[in-house]
Structure 1
């Protein structure tokens, strides 16, 4: 296994990595920097555009943020652009993944300390029968973003846990730990031509000035190779507006 930095000091709060197979590039956001970036590993070039905001009580440079609990929700955006709320009173919506047969959806509310599963109806996009499948001990940080591999195992980023960990959602067992050089690990996704490279985002958020000096890779983008497992192709949103 090898861990490498692919982009240095590119933001405050990197999140939402997504591998675009059509262009062979990685998309990700910097929430506090209000940017979306596209990184091309073939050329090493990155293109950024400005986007969105997030409602913290305070913002950088202090980074003494506090997310207000219970105000988040989980939505489903349908191809006809209609929006349906499926969950309310969420602390902090994060990772989502689907089993290969699309009969199970996995979801993380970071404040709840684990990964939940739902029965999923792919035709209607509805969820039911919520249950806890993975519990993250508090001393291992908060579960943040996640992705799924071709063997149906979940890879969960541990915010304040300096790691991405692989779990079996059928048993809840922790199978593997990939230790990273900075505490605030936010999300991960599979990429590369063979979907066998794990891209990992990180953040400077919640780190003291002392820790920021010690953890000089906070806010970097990492790539992990040699894991011996592959990811699955990400589905594209089916926008029906072109049929109108």
Structure 2
């Protein structure tokens, strides 16, 4: 298979993360976590806009809010904030806080990491311990479900780095990555209740740290590796690696299908730890012969 890699204009980040393709605006939203910057790549204009999130230290994911034009759920420290941004202005503001988790002193160094809406618009997001010296030792992370009109539900605790999430609605499956476990777990997923059960490992790599994740229309998952120059296309039912998509930089953070036909794989990267260019660029991969599913806005 001959796929093609290109960078999008002005898509550079320190730690790019949380790509979300919004069908309504034909835009890719993503974040630069440690700089608390929100970005929007406009497909038609082939142009990227960015905004500093005022008064915040981190922005770990960005998801449009259903029914609220110009409003986004954004992970800020240990809060899910509702942010107002027109997608063009160079600054954005928190309009209100929707949820807070892990408010105790023992979690002072924790922050939210990856987050995504399930097919019904429930927000799933988890935390991680954010001290680089002790990143792998302290399993203080937790995964939560945030559902409109209901209290925050704890899905899983004892997490190192809560990371990639995706769903196969047809098969009733939920996929989740704790990067510190070096694997992808598949859960049975009840779409009516949002309950995940019966975890089993469907992909494991001895040395490449798995990060963000997405799924295509055939149920294959795409796994970004933070230490591996690679996005793996994996068939979860067998664990077979169907394709290795190679990049000219090491730290691949997350993936999302987008474009008018949902057949472009957008890939965020990081230049953390002084990685040389093109590290930190945001890529588009074409020619994969696969399509993604429309991503869901969040109901909050």
Does 1:7 pair with 2:9? yes
Q: CA deviation at 1:149?
A: 0.3
Equivalent residue number for residue 67 of structure 1: 135
Q: Deviations over 1:38-69 (max 9, x none)?
A: 111211141324143446336xxxxxx65263
Q: Find the residue that maps to 2:180 and give its secondary structure.
A: helix
Q: CA deviation at 1:103?
A: 1.2
Does 1:183 pair with 2:250? yes
Q: CA deviation at 1:37?
A: 1.2
User: Structure 2: any 5+ residue segments left out of the alignment?
Assistant: 54-58, 60-75, 78-110, 112-128
Q: CA deviation at 1:9?
A: 6.2
Alignment check: 8 A CA contact 1:168 1:175 kept: yes
Aligned residue runs from structure 1 range 92-107, under 5 A: 92-101=161-170, 103-107=172-176
> Residues 106 and 200 (structure 1 numbering): CA distance in 2 closer, same or farther, change over 3 Å?
same
Equivalent residue for 2:199, pick from 105, 130, 139: 130
> Residues 104 and 233 (structure 1 numbering): CA distance in 2 closer, same or farther, change over 3 Å?
same
Equivalent residue number for residue 145 of structure 2: 76
User: Structure 1: any 5+ residue segments left out of the alignment?
Assistant: 59-64, 240-244
Q: CA deviation at 1:81?
A: 5.0
> Residues 47 and 216 (structure 1 numbering): CA distance in 2 closer, same or farther, change over 3 Å?
closer
Does 1:230 pair with 2:291? yes
Q: CA deviation at 1:228?
A: 0.5
Give me the TM-score of the superposition, normalised by structure 2: 0.71
> Residues of 1 paired with 2:6 and 2:160: CA distance?
32
1-10 or 80-89: which moved more? Answer: 1-10
> Residues of 2 paired with 1:171 and 1:102: CA distance?
15
What RMSD, in angstroms, separates the aligned Cα atoms of the two structures?
A: 1.7
Does 1:170 pair with 2:231? no
> Residues of 2 paired with 1:171 and 1:78: CA distance?
32
Give me the TM-score of the superposition, normalised by structure 1: 0.87
> Residues 166 and 9 (structure 1 numbering): CA distance in 2 closer, same or farther, change over 3 Å?
same
> Residues of 2 paired with 1:224 and 1:113: CA distance?
24
> Residues 81 and 30 (structure 1 numbering): CA distance in 2 closer, same or farther, change over 3 Å?
farther
> Residues 164 and 29 (structure 1 numbering): CA distance in 2 closer, same or farther, change over 3 Å?
same
Alignment check: 8 A CA contact 2:10 2:48 kept: no
226-235 or 75-84: which moved more? Answer: 75-84
Q: Deviations over 1:167-207 (max 9, x none)?
A: 000001111011001000000000000000000000012x3
Counting matched residue pairs gives 225
> Residues of 2 paired with 1:102 and 1:236: CA distance?
21
Q: CA deviation at 1:100?
A: 3.2
Does 1:150 pair with 2:150? no
Alignment check: 8 A CA contact 2:187 2:200 kept: yes
